[in-house]
Amino acid sequence: MTETAHPRTATLRARAEIDLAALRANVRTLRARASGAALMAVVKSDAYGHGAVPCARAAVAAGATWLGTATPEEALALRAAGIGPPVRILCWLWTPGGPWREAVEADLDVSVSALWALAEVREAARAAGRPARVQLKADTGLGRNGCQPADWPELVGEALRAEAEGLIRITGLWSHFACADEPGHPSIAAQLDCFRTVVADAEAAGVRPEVRHIANSPATLTLPESHFDLVRTGIAVYGVSPSPELGTPADFGLRPVMTLSAALALVKHLPGGHGVSYGHHFVTAGETTVGLVPVGYADGIPRHASGTGPVLVGGKWRTVAGRIAMDQFVVDLGGDLPEAGAEAVLFGPGDRGEPTAEDWAQAAGTIAYEIVTRIGKRVPRVYVNEEPNGREG
Ligand SMILES: *Cc1c(COP(=O)(O)O)cnc(C)c1O
């Protein structure tokens, strides 16, 4: 185990420790689950808050051959950090006037759902003097991005014309599920049917894609018939279950990658009947001790978890007392007196008895995706178990 955490980090106000060995193991576990397909590690939104570049590198070291981002800027940043071909990078959230030319020059795969995007990518390819790698996205039922089946033949036809002109290569046909986290939901079979149809229609028209793909994490974990040539796993790479109903991370052989902790900024006695934090929504029942945890909603700690969020201090679960403020919140220590600087663990893998991101999601009435993704820039990411030589470990 390589400890890259500097000793000084022990005194950090707060830290999000990112266990890259866990991330690599998760990627290997997911590859084994979808052994007939290639694996795309989705590293959008700074790798769900874990840090895009280190996580992308670790995922590639563990055998991911594709990376996925929402925006082209995120994808370009990966290339700028030195993650070059043969690693493929797909970015799918475009708006008119986007950096199409830079994307073509950086050898990104760009997603096209509509004719306006195809027109922009053709122009960019012309300007760049090289063909663009284009993946056509179908809306098979999500009702969000993607081309409706009714408009698909026209989009495919235009794309084939651009391909014949040498301006683009149609590298992929793809789509996205609405309800993959609810196994048995009737939309899943309907979307798979629709996807097979739009792929068959495009191939009959002459498209020869490198990859066809529709599976996100829940589909990768529960729906083998959705794997096709490539699976796009996001949340599972970070060791978080897509939904508590599906199972825990351990049920799928996954390990949470992020551990969020803080150093208590103050420990003190409070008399009974004392209000705590803004609005005095918590009042001490009797004399007690409290600890000041120096992270707040500006750090991504959800204010909706006021009065409910769990924190491990001194081996015991404590509960947020009163409101979570911008920079800090208070936990009731029930008479215990840890020293200032003692570790407060908000969430982690859970095997030291600490809560998990899922526990915080439940406390805040949201999903664990939102908990890890929103941890703010003010919290340093501390990478452990890095392998600087990039070898798989
Ligand atoms: C975010 C995203 C994914 C990954 O979803 P997870 O549920 O995190 O695996 C895959 N595909 C698209 C289009 C996405 O936006």
Query: How do residues 142-166 score in pLDDT, each as one tens digit?
Result: 999 999 999 999 999 999 999 999 9
Q: In sequence order, what are the residues at sequence separation of 6 or more whose Cβ sits closer than 8 angstroms to the Cβ of residue 303?
A: 297, 323, 324
Average of per-residue pLDDT across 83-108:
98
Query: How do residues 272-328 score in pLDDT, each as one tens digit?
Result: 999 999 999 999 999 999 999 999 999 999 999 999 999 999 999 999 999 999 999
Quick one: pLDDT band at residue 28, thresholds 50, 70, 90? Answer: very high
Which residue's C-alpha comes closest to atom 6 of ligand 1? 234
Ligand 1 shell residues, CB under 6 Å:
42, 44, 92, 176, 216-217, 232-236, 242
CA–centroid distance, 232 to ligand 1, in Å, is 6
HSE (side-chain half, CA atoms, 13 Å) at 385: 17
Q: What is the pLDDT of residue 392?
A: 45
CA-to-CA distance for 129 and 124, rounded, in angstroms? 8
Compute how many other C-beta atoms are within 10 angstroms of the C-beta atom of residue 208: 10
**C-alpha 9 chain-centroid distance:** 25
Query: How do residues 42-54 score in pLDDT, each as one tens digit?
Result: 999 999 999 999 9
Query: How do residues 343-368 score in pLDDT, each as one tens digit?
Result: 999 999 999 999 999 999 999 999 99
pTM: 0.96
Residues forming the active site: 44, 278
Quick one: pLDDT band at residue 4, thresholds 50, 70, 90? Answer: very low
Quick one: pLDDT band at residue 388, thresholds 50, 70, 90? Answer: low
Q: What percent of the chain has pLDDT over 70?
A: 96
CA–centroid distance, 356 to ligand 1, in Å, is 21
Q: Would the pLDDT of 8 be above 80?
A: no
Of the candidates 176, 235, 280, 295, which has an alpha carbon nearest to the alpha carbon of residue 50?
Answer: 235
Domains of the chain from N-terminus onward: 20-239 (3.20.20.10), 258-384 (2.40.37.10)
Residues annotated as binding site for substrate?
Answer: 144, 326
Q: Would the pLDDT of 219 be above 60?
A: yes
Quick one: pLDDT band at residue 3, thresholds 50, 70, 90? Answer: very low
Q: What is the pLDDT of residue 10?
A: 54
> Can you tell me which atom of ligand 1 is nearest the CA of 44?
1
Compute how many other C-beta atoms are within 10 angstroms of the C-beta atom of residue 175: 25
Mean pLDDT of the chain: 96
CA–centroid distance, 216 to ligand 1, in Å, is 5
Average of per-residue pLDDT across 9-19:
87
CA–centroid distance, 234 to ligand 1, in Å, is 5
Q: What is the pLDDT of residue 233?
A: 98
> Can you tell me which atom of ligand 1 is nearest the CA of 216?
9
Test site for ligand 1: of 40, 231, 232, 257, most ligand atoms within 8 A of the Cβ: 232
Q: Which helix (H) or strand (E) holds 193?
A: helix 186-205
CA–centroid distance, 45 to ligand 1, in Å, is 11
> Can you tell me which atom of ligand 1 is nearest the CA of 181?
7
> Can you tell me which atom of ligand 1 is nearest the CA of 70?
15
Residues annotated as binding site?
Answer: 144, 326
Quick one: pLDDT band at residue 11, thresholds 50, 70, 90? Answer: confident
Relative to beta strand 258-263, strand 66-69 is: unpaired
Q: What is the pLDDT of residue 259?
A: 98
Query: How do residues 232-244 score in pLDDT, each as one tens digit?
Result: 999 999 999 999 9
**C-alpha 280 chain-centroid distance:** 35
Test site for ligand 1: of 195, 216, 220, 237, most ligand atoms within 8 A of the Cβ: 216
**293: β partners:** 329
